[in-house]
Amino acid sequence: MWRDTELTRTLGIALPIVQAPMAGSTTPEMVAAVSEAGGLGSLGAAMMTPDAIRDAIRRVKSLTARPFNVNLFALTPPEVDAEAARRGAELMAAYRRELALPEQPPLPNRLMEQFHEQAEAILQEGVAVFSFTFGLPSADWIGRFRKAGTAIVGTATHPAEAAALAEAGCDMISAQGLEAGGHRGSFLKSFDEGQIGLMALLPQVRRACRLPVLAAGGIMTGEGIAAALALGAAGAQLGTAFLTTHESAAHPVHKAALPQAAEMGTEVTRVFSGRPARSLRNRMLRELQPHADRVPPYPAPLALNAQIYQKARAEGLADFMSLWSGQGGALCRTMGAGELMARLAEETDTAVALLAGRA
Ligand SMILES: Cc1cc2nc3c(=O)[nH]c(=O)nc-3n(C[C@H](O)[C@H](O)[C@H](O)COP(=O)(O)O)c2cc1C
């Protein structure tokens, strides 16, 4: 019976388990494997060009006929503040020397992809579900996705954000607890006000809006899925758990570090991108965290530090890259995404049966 929720009924899928969108880590193969296994696969498309988004959607559709989700950052990129960029570059100077990079980072003229171009590509290709984080798209965009029959999912870290997303016409809310890996989705409330653990957040989000809620943050096993459903969630959204699957595009050193999450610890930090995000506590995080107020706002650091991050990826230097992880990172398992889905469903069966037996 736990399989029968507003999420599974609305989308006609078998399992109320969502593989979270993760820009840079999700692949068409992961999305298709999860949807084929009965869940909802999600493509994190925020860092992709419109053409790459079109190609990826077509690739997923070539692998599965089942519903899947495509996700963007609902954000207008700010102008680069030259003074803030200079201070940010200064902060990284020692690392640039250590990695034998040119002293000054080249400043790109385009900091990030444009939401409207990306959204247009998604609309043209047509997908069952469109989700977003970091904000709220304009009424015009919400209207266009609604008209296309796409289910719209907005991300909330606070009940007030959930209420605003519902008012704007979203169909579902992804409630992102403080435990979650990757960037915080806060947009109306300050990041501090949005630091609410999932167990406290979920019932408040349900009270703030009458929409089905997806529970995100720290869920790694079937027991966690059962707990989320017991709290009233229509689905459980797992990100970190899928980072170590065979289909994940996470860097091998990132995958290798996740099982040590308990020893390394995780922390919400601005040092990598200029926007609070939960990462494993590696050298860069530990050293820069005391100077986080000098890091320019998102997304400037991604551009300013691009050479550092590229070198770290090329040479597998875990000290110099963001190692996004939720608080449950140590529970990651290495296997195919479809196999992980089957395990999660079995574990949820067991957890639900155990509770029913006690009742
Ligand atoms: C590596 C990584 C990248 C992420 N990228 C995105 C993204 O592009 N869009 C988004 O809405 N959420 C993103 N998230 C957040 C997830 O949607 C979700 O809230 C989170 O993974 C849930 O917590 P968990 O990682 O503990 O399962 C990302 C999370 C991780 C771990």
Segments forming the whole domain that contains residue 167: 1-77+112-247+336-359
pLDDT of residue 18: 99
How many domains does one find in the chain? 2
pLDDT of residue 359: 75
**Does residue 324 line the site of ligand 1, with CB under 6 A?**
yes
Provide CB contacts within 8 A for 333, sequence distance 6+. 241, 244, 340, 343
**Does residue 42 line the site of ligand 1, with CB under 6 A?**
no
**Does residue 217 line the site of ligand 1, with CB under 6 A?**
yes
Same domain, 355 and 238: yes
Q: How far is the CA of 183 from the centre of ligand 1 (A)?
A: 7
**Does residue 303 line the site of ligand 1, with CB under 6 A?**
no
**Does residue 181 line the site of ligand 1, with CB under 6 A?**
yes
Same domain, 225 and 340: yes
pLDDT of residue 83: 86
- Based on the number of CB atoms within 10 Å of its own CB, is 319 exposed (0-12), middle (13-18) or buried (19 or more)? middle
Per-residue pLDDT 10s for the chain (359 aa) are 999 999 999 999 999 999 999 999 999 999 999 999 999 999 999 999 999 999 999 999 999 999 999 999 999 877 778 888 888 889 999 999 999 999 888 877 677 899 999 999 999 999 999 999 999 999 999 999 999 999 999 999 999 999 999 999 999 999 999 999 999 999 999 999 999 999 999 999 999 999 999 999 999 999 999 999 999 999 999 999 999 999 999 999 999 999 999 999 999 999 999 999 999 999 999 999 999 999 999 999 999 999 999 999 999 999 999 999 999 999 999 999 999 999 999 999 999 999 999 87
Same domain, 142 and 181: yes
Same domain, 87 and 71: no
**Does residue 45 line the site of ligand 1, with CB under 6 A?**
no
**Does residue 155 line the site of ligand 1, with CB under 6 A?**
yes
Query: The tokens 């099982």 sit on which residue?
Result: 259
Same domain, 180 and 257: no
Same domain, 172 and 300: no
Nearest CA to ligand 1 atom 13: 22
Same domain, 230 and 137: yes
**Does residue 326 line the site of ligand 1, with CB under 6 A?**
yes
Provide CB contacts within 8 A for 334, sequence distance 6+. 244, 245, 246, 255
In terms of DSSP bridges, do strands 151-156 and 172-176 run parallel, antiparallel, or are they unpaired?
parallel
Q: Which of 183, 279, 327 to mutate to test the pocket of ligand 1 (most atoms within 8 A of CB)?
A: 183
Same domain, 66 and 99: no
pLDDT of residue 130: 98
Same domain, 149 and 265: no
Residue 2 belongs to domain with CATH number:
3.20.20.70
Q: What are the beta bridge partners of residue 42? A: 69
Nearest atom in ligand 1 to 216's CA: 22
Q: Which of 22, 240, 332 to mutate to test the pocket of ligand 1 (most atoms within 8 A of CB)?
A: 22
Same domain, 86 and 157: no
Nearest CA to ligand 1 atom 17: 20
Same domain, 194 and 177: yes
Provide CB contacts within 8 A for 179, sequence distance 6+. 197, 198, 217, 218, 278, 326, 327, 328
CA distance 18 to 140: 27
Same domain, 19 and 132: yes
**Does residue 328 line the site of ligand 1, with CB under 6 A?**
yes
